[in-house]
Structure 1
Amino acid sequence: MKLNIFTKTIIGMGALCAAAPVLALEAWSGQEGTGPYEVIYDSGVYTNAWWVGASDCPGNASGDEANNPWRFERDATAAEIAEYGNPTTCDTGGGTVTYPDYSSANAYNANDIVTYNGATWQTSTAQSAYGFTPGAANPWEMYAEVAQWSATTTYNKGDKVQKDGQEYEALFYTIGDDPSLEANQNPSGTNGRPWKPLGAVVTYTTDQLNNAPEFNSSTLYESGTLIRYNGENYVSQAKVQKVTPADTNPWKIYIDWSGTKAMVGTPSSAWPAHVYAPYVDYTLNSLPDLASLAKNQNVTHFTMAFVVAKDADTCLPTWGTAYNINDYTQYSKIKALREAGGDVMVSIGGANNSPLAAACTDVSQLQQHYYDIVENLNLNVLDFDIEGTWVADHDSINRRNEAVKAAQDQWKAEGRSVGIWYTLPILPTGLTDDGLYVLNDAKAKGVNLAGVNVMAMDYGSSICQSEGTEGQNIHGKCATSAIENLSSQLKQIFTDKSDDEINAMMGVTPMNGYNDVQGEVFYLSDANLVMDDAKDRDMGMIGMWSMMRDQPGVAGQVSPEHSGLTESQAPQYAFSEVFAPFTHSDETPAETEIKDVNVDKSTNNPELNWTQNTASIESGEYTVTLQHDGWNRDAVGEPYYFGQYGNDKVARVYVTDLGNGYSNVKLQMLTGEVTEGHVVQVKDANGTVVLTYQYTLEDVTTGSPSQIASSETSVKNGSLTYTINASTSMMIAYEYVNFYYDSTDAKGKTTTTLCGSWFQGMIKNFGKGCSTVMNPHQGYWSPSETISVNKLKAGDKVYAATADGSSESAKIFTVLDSITLTDEMLKASR
């Protein structure tokens, strides 16, 4: 709930932008892999020159540069040490658990854990020596004559061909790329080319195939051995024993998720139905403070990019291949964001590296990774960024859709809802055929998509050339055209959805500033056009590549850390200032129920209280207005949250949950600021008045005996003076403080005489043998009444009281102080 008090008034991203990786700094904790890593150790910052093992300690690097890959880069700053930590011994290393390296010559028991190729693995069954290798296919491959390569055939990962007597294996989707050409060969799997050379083609005669020995589990077979098994021929691809061609690999990737949930924190609310969630390149060193962006820029939701496979053949989720998915130091930023009321969506995929759906050939293992990522990172939403060559790779597309459907079935059985978004490249004319295949296959497999987000960037179309045309909205029009055509395409796929539902499942992600395609620039004016279109359609999402680029930089430069626009064109966070107001929810606020309205006068300040149903408070926004005749000051714009108040000194609002479906709401006015006849109005977010209360004089008369510090009488020159020492707050309050004396005659009749009245700085005397004056006295206000002693006798009473006016007929509210006179008090004059 927000209570706004208006008082004293009269009512595509990743791959193209990150060609040169910028590392995310973290404390050394036994990192292992190719990285590259940038770590803090003993007040220094180190980077690895080549593959680094968990046992390689930066502290030992200077004396063993030939074997230790860590290299000192610079001194760490105090701020970096405070944020990331500063391990100083090789023994602690952040507490990382290490496991023995896998050896094919060793036997293993069920549930043993090993490390292999930079990943951790666990076997579900006992393994003999020369059994399955972690992450590898069955070591027996069915023999088939290798097909000749054809320029018109589509090949996917794992397909094998021959040409000119040499054999080649496709590393990913390819068509028309001649494997015999060195320009298309990728021997190490690291240069982005599609074909891996395997050497000379091995062929067998019919006699050799028919007379091959039958498989024997006790035999130790060398690599390249031909056998027969169940009437088929197989060739061993490695040294193997006690593994049949029908067996499945028991080794699975092992991730220790213990502690991850605590590292990332828990979101405090559901993901908004309509959200601005800019992408954060989560492996950069220059990561922004997400919590500060939420508090200061109103950017509360982010899309963290990218989770990818460790490498093309390892089914292990990582952040950009460089950082562990389970214990990334930068999770502290997500936790702080969630504590500030924000949340994140994780994006799996991107243009660089291998998506999990490509590296994980086992759908069940892929599904488990998706489930574990959502479960342990406490996610409400998951994004899949499908671009580059992967948007045309049908094998990985099919596996992804099958795994997502399986994960959704598991969440449904658990009563959990997780939003799934697919992010795809687009042209001004709409999705490509590849993108449409992704969506049609998802629908065919039963995937329930929350939304389709499109990368409105890098079109490569002449009509989107916009450099030097700021204000003409060329790039913005390309984006809105893409969205219009996307809408038509989605209607043809999801025929059961209404126009509003189609709009709500669309997202658009421009690349702010200079795009990777030369000549394409997305200016602030384009952002305003896209924002207006998204609002008009009430779309589900606006993204941006990326949050770090939302700042000026070298003019015309494409960078992962700035937009390429100048300060005058787009100052820091200018794009987010345009897009941030887009975030909103479809939730209908609960109907407001208010009861038990009363004024509490137990303190010096009149407090208006009411009871309101908690559901309406949590889902709505309310404005409290106090009408003060004759005053006209600017409204106070500070929102008031539970138990808090802003800088204004006029009013405060407190909300206390009573735990029974209702909350107490207290409006506290400072002394003297609310007067008889003034009106409080409470309006909901629609401007509907849900409460009106008009103060009475009794409401605002808060004087009480506790405000009287002391009282006394004195006799001088034939007159008795009765004095009270009252707090300043009582004297300036909007209330009448009257002075009386009661005298009783011989027949017992009591007569009350009003001597005078005090009201906010003014004394009114009535004569009749008595008078009233006011004097400050030692930090108090000291009003007094003076009465001729001839009118008094023992047993008479002098007193001060609040009343509803200054006349003799005024109704007394509260007697503040009284003294019954004695002969001793009067004798000085007698």
Structure 2
Amino acid sequence: MAHRFQGRRLSPLRLFVVLAVVGTLVAGSTMAYGRVRDAAFAGKQQQWFGSYVDATSTPFYDIGTGVAPGERVVLAFAVAHPERACEPSWGAYYTLDEAAATFDLDRRAARVRDAGGEIVISTGGLLNDEPATACDDTARVKGAYASLLDRYQSSTLDLDIEGDDLSDAVSGERRASAVAALQKDRDDAGAALEVWLTLPVATGGLTAEGLAEVRRMLDAGVDLAGVNLMTMNFGESRAAGQSMATASIQSARSTHAQLTDLYAEAGQNLGAQSLWRKIGLTPMIGQNDLLGEVFGLDDAVALNAFAVETGVGRMSLWSANRDNDCGPNHPDPERVSNNCSGVKQASRDFAQRLAAGFDPASTASAASAAASAPRASEEPAPKETAIVDDPATSPYPIWNDEGAFVEGDRVVWRGNVYESKWWNQDTPPDSPVADGGATPWTLVGPVLPGDKPQPVVTAPAGLYPVWSPAAVYTEGDRVLHEGRILEAKWWNSSESPEAALRGAPTSPWKLFTNVQAQRIIDAAAKKGASATPSATPSTSPTPSAKPTP
């Protein structure tokens, strides 16, 4: 006869305990798996450092100097042209062609790429209209973004939306639609477009308008690389005695919580680490626009440590132009300067501290080590190749040892463009020197495909009187000489403008550049009448620099 086992039956309490233990184990395993997936996803997102450069602030910043492989240069700000709303410009002052002619932006960008760096295009800013604000045609807004990215061979678009641009919801919808369409086009072509939103922030996080801008982008289907926080000018949101680093960290944590909810609303449930990758931090180094707010070198170290620990996706600073000591000629360190930080520092001190952990120097070191490693015996040694410059494909005269060059003169030598820092003769631009300050030449960048000699812009007869040795000229008077437009710097008579045409700094005449001359000619043609010398003010370019990104 079979014997039936009389097993012990579990009481309801014991059953509850068993189920609770099993549930806890399952939940713990699920959470652990989620954390692993979150970490794996975050690990695939690239982290980078890149300083903003105010492209139109004078003196023009040499973006190609000291760029390490993998480093990014954030060019700011591309905005709507003041007269042609759907056409991009730099700072509302230079068209893209004028930027190339005036301060060789195309060539300098090529030098960044040649060094292994990348250009980031930043649109908007505080003082001018972002393209989507001024242009009411979504397709043409998309075209403006595309033309900027194509011109400078960039795959990263930084939308700096603040001030009136941020409060304009209609332009925000247009911007989101244009960016979504452009990103889809690039994806279809196998060329991914990285898009960042740069927004103002308080210690409590993004403003309501900032949150709305993020929401518009997500709703339009834009794959945002992240939200870059302008951790600066906190005002009353910063507690009394709170350091700028602590305020910046508080703003980052607050925004992280806000983005968790925003992405969840959009159906994207990202883990904590993944969301940190979608946050960027951009302090205004040194003296901020608000008195009493100074982001010092210690703040840079503290903010960097936080960024590395949490794994933020991006670190930037405003701006590379300002990453210098102001020196003794800057009388008031509390007055914000476009060209120095207002704190005691060495050049690029802030960049070095903020880039730690993001800095591609390790990549550069590895490349340097590989380059210096012994070659395999079967590998032939490189041969020096003579580079012959062709006048037909050179944008400037080719250097020769018989010429004399003054400050600002540009020449081509062995496939590169150089600019003279002072009067010099018989000094090859690429002569090796131990100290860069000892050479009279500055490397601008390579000769580009399609380059050719720049034609000289000459004015139509009658625009201004032809210079006469018998006439007396006072400051501001304009004349034509060999078709060129010149303006008297001081009282003079019988002093030919010929010396100014040859670049002599002691000439009493100022020669207008091609860009300046073309603007005068276009303005006169638009008015339908010739200008009058005594009534025409100087039109030397004085681009309006932006104090904040």
- If the length of structure 2 is used for normalisation, what is the TM-score? 0.55
Q: CA deviation at 1:302?
A: 1.3
Mapped pair 1:446 → 2:446: no
Distance in structure 1 (CA, Å) of the matches to 2:130 and 2:243: 33
Q: Name the residue aligned to 2:303.
A: 530
**C-alpha distance 619-531 of structure 1, shift in aligned 2 (>3 A):** closer
SS in 1 for 2:291: coil
Q: Name the residue aligned to 1:418.
A: 193
Gap regions ≥5 residues in structure 2: 1-43, 382-549
Distance in structure 2 (CA, Å) of the matches to 1:417 and 1:655: 38
Contact 2:48 2:71 in 1 (8 A): no
Q: CA deviation at 1:581?
A: 2.6
Q: Name the residue aligned to 1:539.
A: 312
**C-alpha distance 462-340 of structure 1, shift in aligned 2 (>3 A):** same
Distance in structure 1 (CA, Å) of the matches to 2:342 and 2:70: 21
Equivalent residue runs for 1:301-700 within 5 Å: 301-311=72-82, 314-326=85-97, 328=100, 329-461=104-236, 463=238, 474-495=243-264, 496-553=269-326, 554=330, 555-566=333-344, 570-583=345-358, 639-642=368-371, 645=372, 652-654=373-375
Contact 2:195 2:226 in 1 (8 A): yes
The CA deviation string for residues 308-360 of structure 1, in whole angstroms up to 9 with x for no partner, is 00127621100001111245222222111211111110101111111110111
SS in 1 for 2:223: coil
SS in 2 for 1:311: coil
**C-alpha distance 407-368 of structure 1, shift in aligned 2 (>3 A):** same
**C-alpha distance 525-620 of structure 1, shift in aligned 2 (>3 A):** closer
Contact 1:556 1:565 in 2 (8 A): no
Distance in structure 2 (CA, Å) of the matches to 1:565 and 1:620: 29
Q: CA deviation at 1:464?
A: 5.2
SS in 2 for 1:582: coil
Distance in structure 2 (CA, Å) of the matches to 1:478 and 1:655: 54
Equivalent residue runs for 1:795-810 within 5 Å: none
Equivalent residue letter for 2:323: D
Q: 1:287 aligns with which of 44, 50, 60?
A: 60
Equivalent residue runs for 1:730-741 within 5 Å: none
The CA deviation string for residues 255-279 of structure 1, in whole angstroms up to 9 with x for no partner, is xxxxxxxxxxxxxxxx991111111
Contact 2:291 2:334 in 1 (8 A): no
Q: CA deviation at 1:582?
A: 3.1
SS in 1 for 2:121: strand
Contact 1:653 1:665 in 2 (8 A): no
Contact 1:293 1:299 in 2 (8 A): no
Contact 1:312 1:353 in 2 (8 A): no
Q: CA deviation at 1:419?
A: 0.2
Distance in structure 1 (CA, Å) of the matches to 2:301 and 2:283: 12
Distance in structure 1 (CA, Å) of the matches to 2:312 and 2:376: 34
Contact 1:312 1:359 in 2 (8 A): no
Distance in structure 2 (CA, Å) of the matches to 1:551 and 1:299: 23
**C-alpha distance 278-584 of structure 1, shift in aligned 2 (>3 A):** closer
**C-alpha distance 446-429 of structure 1, shift in aligned 2 (>3 A):** same
SS in 1 for 2:350: helix
Gap regions ≥5 residues in structure 1: 1-270, 467-472, 586-617, 623-637, 646-651, 659-663, 667-830
Equivalent residue letter for 2:247: C
**C-alpha distance 619-390 of structure 1, shift in aligned 2 (>3 A):** closer
The CA deviation string for residues 749-806 of structure 1, in whole angstroms up to 9 with x for no partner, is xxxxxxxxxxxxxxxxxxxxxxxxxxxxxxxxxxxxxxxxxxxxxxxxxxxxxxxxxx
Q: CA deviation at 1:300?
A: 3.0
SS in 1 for 2:347: coil
Equivalent residue letter for 1:356: P
SS in 2 for 1:348: strand
Distance in structure 2 (CA, Å) of the matches to 1:392 and 1:292: 37
RMSD of aligned residue pairs (Cα, Å):
2.8
Identity between Structure 1 and Structure 2 (%): 28
Contact 2:233 2:288 in 1 (8 A): yes
Q: Name the residue aligned to 2:465.
A: none
Q: CA deviation at 1:462?
A: 5.8
SS in 2 for 1:283: coil
SS in 2 for 1:292: coil
Equivalent residue letter for 2:263: F
Q: CA deviation at 1:563?
A: 0.6
**C-alpha distance 332-464 of structure 1, shift in aligned 2 (>3 A):** farther
SS in 1 for 2:64: helix
Equivalent residue letter for 1:640: A
SS in 1 for 2:123: strand
**C-alpha distance 431-462 of structure 1, shift in aligned 2 (>3 A):** closer
Specify the structure having the higher radius of gyration (Cα): 1
Q: CA deviation at 1:665?
A: 12
**C-alpha distance 428-621 of structure 1, shift in aligned 2 (>3 A):** same
* Higher RCO (CA < 8 A, seq sep 6+): 2
Contact 2:244 2:294 in 1 (8 A): yes
Distance in structure 1 (CA, Å) of the matches to 2:237 and 2:198: 24
Q: CA deviation at 1:410?
A: 1.0
Equivalent residue letter for 1:486: T
**C-alpha distance 487-572 of structure 1, shift in aligned 2 (>3 A):** same
Q: Name the residue aligned to 1:224.
A: none
**C-alpha distance 462-505 of structure 1, shift in aligned 2 (>3 A):** closer
**Which structure has the highest strand share of the two?**
1
Equivalent residue letter for 2:369: Y
Distance in structure 2 (CA, Å) of the matches to 1:445 and 1:577: 37
Count of equivalent residues: 324
Distance in structure 1 (CA, Å) of the matches to 2:213 and 2:335: 33
SS in 2 for 1:351: coil
Equivalent residue runs for 1:3-14 within 5 Å: none
Distance in structure 2 (CA, Å) of the matches to 1:272 and 1:293: 25
Equivalent residue letter for 2:317: M
Q: CA deviation at 1:559?
A: 0.7
**C-alpha distance 453-398 of structure 1, shift in aligned 2 (>3 A):** same
Contact 1:551 1:572 in 2 (8 A): yes
SS in 2 for 1:344: strand
Equivalent residue letter for 1:573: R
Distance in structure 1 (CA, Å) of the matches to 2:65 and 2:70: 9
Contact 1:551 1:563 in 2 (8 A): yes
Contact 2:322 2:341 in 1 (8 A): yes
Contact 1:293 1:300 in 2 (8 A): no
